[in-house]
Amino acid sequence: MPNPASLGPPPLPPFRLGGDARREGVRALLRRAMARLEALDLPEPERARIELVLAEVLNNVALHAYGDRPGPCPIRLTCRPGIGNLAIGVCDSGHPMPNGRLPAGRPQQVNLPLADLPEGGFGWFLIRGLAEDLQYERRSGRNHLQFRLPLGRSG
Amino acid sequence: MVSKWAYASGDRNDPSGRVMHLSAQAKDRTCLVTAEEERLDAAAALAFKEAMRRLPETAGPIVLLDLSRVTFLDSSGLGALVAAMKALAPTRELRLAGLTPPVRKVFELTRMDQVFVLYESAEAALDACLD
């Protein structure tokens, strides 16, 4: 399948989106980001993978970094399409990650009795499985998360 | 007879996903439930769980959830499906049908495809369940 990422410079300049996780909702922010990325004309599985990782990351910010904190919940999302990958940055001013580190995202056990099956904890496992070069920093009271999503690879 | 209902949750974190529409149809021992939304995500998870609790009293022991209209599932939506399966047990069993490719991918990545009974389509599921 032809992929623009392999044929030269990316057809989309870097862009930045600002939103509010509470007022606007993660869905709306995600919809705006995915609309911008349409210019990359990505194959559907790749597009779906990007949407999933962005959703997990943004939901984590909304549910954990801001959580029960009242008031505005600003999120800044930057996307930088490159050769063979899409570099993503997510910045928020919510609570820091527990222990100042990214969660391990270990696979959840599934061979368990029904009552013991996990109802959560899949998010970081999915992010770690699909994203590369994950970096987290707490700087000036803000969380900065950066990672790359591979483009133009099968699977 | 097809019954349709919706549940609106009060998730202040995402006003766009407060409502989950489900419709249900009794087919012998199976209650076919159709998720009438395109997204089963963090915003919709709570409303989905609540809507599933309001299944018709007459629902049979097999609750077959048709997900063929759902094109986006995230980890919260997946968690909501597990929660719904637990809530139906032990008298009723949740099975899933019609997973679209992006939804199936999430099941494969998390290995939840080993937990749920999955069918290609609602039709295939009903054939199998009626046998």
SS3 of A67-111: CCCCCCCEEEEEEEEECCEEEEEEEECCCCCHHHCCCCCCCCCCC
- Given this model, what pLDDT does residue B60 score? 82
Q: Are B5 and B22 in contact (CB under 8 A)?
A: yes
Residues in B lying within 8 Å of A, measured between beta carbons: 12-17, 39, 41-43, 72, 74-76, 78-80, 82-83, 85-86, 89, 101-102, 105-106, 109-112, 114-115
Find, among A78, A54, A73, A129, the residue nearest to B72 by Cα. A54
Eight-class DSSP state of B114: G
What is the average per-residue pLDDT within B63-89? 96
Q: Residue A142: phi, psi to the nearest 5?
A: -125, 150
What is the average per-residue pLDDT within B16-33? 81
Q: Which residues make beta-bridge pairs with B41?
A: none
Domain A13-150 architecture? 2-Layer Sandwich (3.30)
Domain ranges of chain A: 13-150
Q: What percent of chain A lies above the pLDDT cut of 90?
A: 77
Q: How far lies A126's CA from each of A55, A102, B60, B110, in Å?
A: 11, 13, 34, 8
* Whether residue A53 has pLDDT greater than 80: yes
**Interface predicted TM-score of the whole assembly (ipTM), two decimals:** 0.90
Instruction: At A71, list the tokens.
Output: 């008031």
- Tell me how close the Cα of B1 comes to any Cα of chain A, in angstroms: 31
Neighbours of A8 (CB within 10 A): 8
Q: Are B77 and B65 in contact (CB under 8 A)?
A: no
Distance CA A60, CA A54 (A): 10
pLDDT, averaged across chain B: 87
Count A/B contacts: CB-CB distance under 8 Å. Answer: 99
Q: How many contiguous H segments (helices) and E segments (strands) does chain B have?
A: 4, 8
- Given this model, what pLDDT does residue B127 score? 87
Q: Sorting pLDDT into bands at 50, 70 and 90, what band is A154?
A: low
Residue pLDDT, tens place only, A63-103:
999 988 888 999 999 999 998 999 999 999 999 999 999 99
Please name the member of B16, B39, B42 whose beta carbon is closest to the beta carbon of A63.
B42
pTM reported for the whole predicted model:
0.91
Residues from chain B contacting residue A111 (CB–CB below 8 Å)? 114
* Whether residue B129 has pLDDT greater than 60: yes
Helix/strand/coil for A30: helix
Residue pLDDT, tens place only, B45-70:
989 998 898 888 777 899 999 999 99
pLDDT, averaged across chain A: 91
Q: Sorting pLDDT into bands at 50, 70 and 90, what band is A3?
A: low
Task: Give the amino acid at B103.
Answer: V
Among A1-10, A73-82, A143-152, B16-25, which is the least confidently predicted range?
A1-10
Q: Domains of chain B by range and CATH? A: 2-130 (3.30.750.24)
- Given this model, what pLDDT does residue A1 score? 52
- Cβ neighbourhood burial of B130 (10 Å; 0-12, 13-18, 19+): exposed
